[in-house]
Amino acid sequence: MKFKNCAVAYNFENSEYKNICIELINELTKYCLNCDIIDINNLKNDYDIIFVMGGDGTILKAARFYSGSDTVIFGINIGRLGFLSQTSKENFSNSVKKIVNNEYKIEKRLMLEAGNYNALNDFVIKSKEYGRTSRFSVKIDGKQACTYIADGVIISTPTGSTAYCLSAGGPVITPNIEAFVIVPICAHTLTARPLVVPADVEISVSQIDNKTSKTCVLSVDGQGNYEFKNEIKIKKSSKRTNLLILDDVNFYTILQTKLNWGTTPNYC
For residue 70, give the CATH number of its domain.
3.40.50.10330
Tell whether 199 is covered by a domain.
Answer: yes
What is the structure's pLDDT at 268?
Answer: 59
Q: Is the domain of 102 the same as that of 147?
A: no
pLDDT digits (tens, 9 = 90+) for 25-68: 888 888 877 789 999 999 999 899 999 999 899 999 999 999 98
Q: Is the domain of 131 the same as that of 192?
A: yes
pLDDT digits (tens, 9 = 90+) for 73-126: 999 988 777 888 888 878 888 999 999 999 999 999 999 999 999 999 999 999
Quick check: 113 and 122 in contact, CB under 8 A?
Answer: no
Of 36, 39, 46, 56, which is the active-site residue?
Answer: 56
Q: Is the domain of 151 the same as that of 67?
A: no
**Residues ≥6 apart with Cβ < 8 Å to 246:** 86, 87, 95, 98, 99, 103, 104
Distance separating alpha carbons of residues 114 and 126, to the nearest angstrom: 15
Q: Is the domain of 179 the same as that of 121?
A: yes
Q: Is the domain of 118 the same as that of 194?
A: yes
Q: Is the domain of 123 the same as that of 226?
A: yes
For residue 119, the one-letter residue type is: A
Tell whether 116 is covered by a domain.
Answer: yes
Q: Is the domain of 213 the same as that of 116?
A: yes
Tell whether 172 is covered by a domain.
Answer: yes
**Domain of residue 212, residue span:** 112-236
Q: Is the domain of 205 the same as that of 228?
A: yes
pLDDT digits (tens, 9 = 90+) for 162-216: 999 999 999 999 999 999 999 999 999 888 899 999 999 999 999 987 565 678 8
What is the structure's pLDDT at 65?
Answer: 97
Q: In what order do the strands lie in the sheet with 225-229?
A: 195-198, 179-185, 152-156, 122-127, 215-220, 225-229
Tell whether 173 is covered by a domain.
Answer: yes
Tell whether 76 is covered by a domain.
Answer: yes
Q: Is 221 a catalytic residue?
A: no
Tell whether 194 is covered by a domain.
Answer: yes
Q: Is the domain of 183 the same as that of 138?
A: yes
Q: Is the domain of 43 the same as that of 91?
A: yes
| Count of structural domains within the chain | 2
